[in-house]
Amino acid sequence: MTDPDARQGRDGRGNGRSVANPLREGLRLERMPEPCTMVICGATGDLTERKLAPALYNLMLGGFLPPEFTVVGFARRDLDADAFRQHLRESIDKYSRNKPAKESVWESFAKGIEYHQGNLDDPQAYVELAKRLERIDRDRGTAGNRLFYLAVPPKLYPEIVEQLGEAGLAVHRGHDGGKQGWVRVIVEKPFGYDLASARALNRELREVFSEDQIYRIDHYLGKETVQNLAVFRFGNGIFEPIWNRRYIDSVQITVAETVGVEGRGEFYDQTGAMRDIVQNHGLQLLATFAMDPPVEFRAQDLRDEKVKVLRAVKPVGYNQVEDQTVRGQYVSGWVEGAKVPSYRDEPDVAPDSETATYVALKLAIDSWRWAGVPIYVRTGKALTTRVTEIAVQFKRAPLALFARAGNPVIEPNVLAMRIQPDEGILLRFGAKVPGQGLNIRTVNMDFRYGSSFAVDSPDAYETLLLDAMIGDASLFTRDDEVERAWEIIDQVLQAWANGEGGPLHFYSAGTWGPPAADELLERDGREWRRP
């Protein structure tokens, strides 16, 4: 039996490989996947507890999963199936957006939950896993369709992928030796530590899986507002004509967090804000915002257009780092009424750490559409407000027509697309204040998903897991996207590692970052938006 979602063809980059059926791929219309088994490697970790278990339950609650759907938790912890089911039930009751779990739905979901105990580096554990999956195919009718989710630290990816290949689990074969069902693997960010390691990781993944089997997950791309960007851009005739350098003055992408490192000091001190946010979330938001209309609304064409944007982004050169970037680190302060210790006082953080918890940088897209429009990206921890947004500032009106009436300067129009926490779109424009005279004030036209629709927005992981089961890669990252994103910021990381590229600035927790970040925009006659 062949993969019903695939046909042989070209992937748009000159490579012969299977691509998904154009009648299904990218259109995202068929929301019920085929019966399948999802194997979670590292199933007793925090990701499964907080995100994967609630997402799968909500998909079952919404009627998006077939009755045969099966989950196999694969981890080294000594548990039996009942204990693992209880662990998932507690996770759902604690973290699901629909809680507590509805008994009838949970009972149906729990019938398909199993646990496979074993070390992730033990070849025999994978041999036994293969036998278990064959038994599940027979007993539950999952037809050899498997989704492997690597919910483990990235350093374990090569080992697990190699073991899956050695056990024959990368391509399932039936008793007659023929290919049966589909096999896909999901890997979490970060995809590498730098450009060289990202290339090495892609090579290691492709030694076992083909590119169309690999789903690199970035949960920001599963958020409703990010998905709505394409509809907003290409489904409304009034915006696309002004989405270019003739009308747009500048763009700001903000990913701000109020929390510190939250007990992840050891991980974060080796990663920093540039690797943790900018290389993946930030540049993916940029590419989604700035891409040209695809030929068709399907995964291959959407991802091709995103790659075109990233190829047009000028990498920051080693000698440009000091002029185009600012890095900062928070010291003690107050956030939302709570005292936050200095980053260097956090557990598992080096007392002399030079890791940046704040990054601001100026980028440029050398394309016909965006030439001359600066793109400012900033991210930080322990800031004033938790918000992720893309803010488009339009050019001012060409004539100060109302200057004689006492309005010499009118604020420029701004279109802000909020990704989180209050997903929606805001348009800021000038309006006359009622009354005598001609007083102009800036007002907001504010659309919010929560108040405009009678349904809750699904969690990003719900959308992405369902897409992976269906075989729709629209919201997942391709290998060349990952490598190009690293190319853009790789020399910045090298300069900082060498103690060059400008000093490390300090900022108090609960502020909007170091003053040097404001100066980065002030040199261009602009200022950061305060969401």
pLDDT tens digits for range 275-286: 999 999 999 999
| DSSP structure string for 154-181 | GGGHHHHHHHHHHTT-SS-B-TTS-B-S
Q: Measured between alpha carbons, how far is 469 from 149 in angstroms, rounded to an integer?
A: 11
Classify strands 183-188 and 325-331 as parallel, antiparallel or unpaired.
unpaired
For residue 6, the cross-strand partners are: 20
User: What is the per-residue pLDDT for 399?
Assistant: 58
- Residue 165 Cα distances to 159, 168, 188, 478, 487, angstroms: 10, 5, 19, 21, 30
Specify the pLDDT at position 148: 98
CATH topology of domain 31-188: Rossmann fold (3.40.50)
Separation of alpha carbons 408 and 129, rounded Å: 72
CA 370, CA 248: separation in Å to the nearest integer? 9
Query: How remote is the C-alpha of 262 from its chain's centroid?
Result: 20
Contact 58, 98 (CB under 8 A): yes
| Contact status, residue 389 vs residue 419, Cβ threshold 8 Å | yes
333 in helix, strand or coil?
strand
Long-range contacts of 409-413, Cβ-Cβ distance < 8 Å, separation of 24 or more: 410/440, 410/442, 411/442, 412/249
User: With left for phi above 0 and alpha for psi between -120 and 50, is residue 120 left, alpha or beta?
Assistant: alpha
Domain 222-522 has CATH 3.30.360.10: yes
Q: What is the spatial distance between Cα 349 and Cα 263, in angstroms, rounded to a whole number?
A: 10
Tokens of 76: 């080294």
The pTM for the full model equals 0.87
- Confidence (pLDDT) at 30: 54
Q: How does strand 37-41 pair with strand 146-150? A: parallel
Determine the pLDDT at residue 78.
Answer: 93
Tokens of 244: 């270019």
Rounded Cα gap, residues 199 and 338, in angstroms: 42
Specify the pLDDT at position 179: 56
Place of tokens 């006492």: 406
Helix (H) or strand (E) holding 20: strand 16-20
Domains of the chain, residue spans: 31-188, 222-522
Question: Does residue 20 contact residue 471 with C-beta atoms inside 8 Å?
Answer: yes
Catalytic option among 87, 116, 172, 281: 281
Nearest-angstrom CA–CA distance, 217 and 154: 12
pLDDT at position 458, please? Answer: 83
Q: Active site includes 505?
A: no
Please give the chain's pLDDT, 531 residues, in tens.
Answer: 333 343 333 343 333 333 333 333 444 445 789 999 999 999 999 999 999 999 999 999 999 999 999 999 999 999 999 999 999 999 999 999 998 999 999 999 999 999 999 999 999 999 999 999 999 999 999 999 999 999 998 889 999 999 999 999 998 554 444 557 899 999 988 899 999 999 999 999 999 999 999 999 988 787 777 777 888 888 888 888 999 999 999 999 999 999 999 888 888 999 999 999 999 999 999 999 999 999 888 888 999 999 999 999 999 999 999 999 999 999 999 999 999 999 999 999 999 999 999 999 999 999 999 999 999 999 999 999 999 999 999 998 775 666 555 666 678 899 999 988 888 899 988 777 787 767 777 788 888 877 777 677 788 899 999 999 999 998 899 999 999 999 999 999 999 999 999 999 999 999 999 999 999 999 999 999 998
Write the DSSP string, 199-251.
HHHHHHHHTTS-GGGEEEE-GGGGSHHHHHHHHHHHS-TTTGGGSSTTTEEEE
Q: Are 441 and 431 in contact (CB under 8 A)?
A: yes
Sequential DSSP letters for 402-454: TGGGT----PPPEEEEEEESS-EEEEEEEEEPSSSS--EEEEEEEEEHHHHSS
